[in-house]
Every structure is written in C-alpha cells, then in structure tokens.
C-alpha cells in the first residue's frame, strides 16, 4: 500500500464509489483526497468525521477503564 493512500480506503464507502462526491468524478476525488497523503486526507470530510468518531470511542474506553478500576 502506498504511504500516500488513506488508511481508511479499504473500508471507506466514498473510496469504493458508494458515497457522495458531489459533481466531482470519483477518480478526481481520489486523486485530490485519497492518494495525497495526510494533506489530502486532512481535507476530506469523511476522514475528519472518522477520526473524530475514533477519538470519541477511545475516550469512552478510557472513561470505562476508570469506572471499572477507580483506584487506577
Ligand atoms: S480520503 Fe476520505 S474519501 Fe478517501 S479513502 Fe480516506 S476517508 Fe475515504
């Protein structure tokens, strides 16, 4: 896998052509966002939302650890 390819590409519906790219053809969308390294991914709404969701899940896991083991 190219280091410039978005790490979400295998599971991303937009990358698979099943998501919304507006008026932009899929090949162009991929070149602008998916194959551009972090500079491209960082401008992709799908990537940003995924990262935010991932952070929230990890934050919840940390909170649950604290609740399960309040003394540390
Ligand atoms: S850059 Fe965006 S559209 Fe492309 S694979 Fe990553 S999350 Fe999906």
Minimum-distance ligand 1 atom for the alpha carbon of 47: 7
Which of 12, 13, 16, 48 most suits a substitution to test ligand 1, by most atoms within 8 Å of the C-beta?
12
**Atom 7 in ligand 1: which residue has the minimum CA distance?**
47
pLDDT in tens, 28-63: 999 999 999 999 999 999 999 999 999 999 999 999
pTM of the model: 0.80
Q: What are the pLDDT digits (tens) for 3-20?
A: 999 999 999 999 999 999
Going by C-beta distance under 8 Å and a sequence separation of 6 or more, which residues neighbour residue 23?
none
Residue 68 alpha carbon to ligand 1 centre in Å: 35
Angstrom distance (rounded) from CA 34 to CA 47? 9
**46 closest CA partner among 3, 11, 72, 4:** 11
The C-alpha atoms of residue 12 and residue 7 are separated, in whole angstroms, by 9
Instruction: Transcribe 34-53 into DSSP letters.
Output: ITSTHHHHTT-HHHHHHHHH
């Amino acid at each position: 896998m190219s280091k410039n390819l978005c790490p979400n590409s295998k599971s991303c519906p937009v990358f698979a052509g099943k998501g919304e790219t507006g008026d932009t053809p899929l090949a162009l969308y991929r070149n602008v966002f998916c194959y551009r390294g972090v500079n491209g991914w960082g401008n992709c709404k799908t990537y940003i939302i995924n990262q935010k969701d991932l952070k929230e899940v990890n934050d919840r896991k940390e909170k649950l650890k604290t609740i399960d083991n309040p003394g540390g």
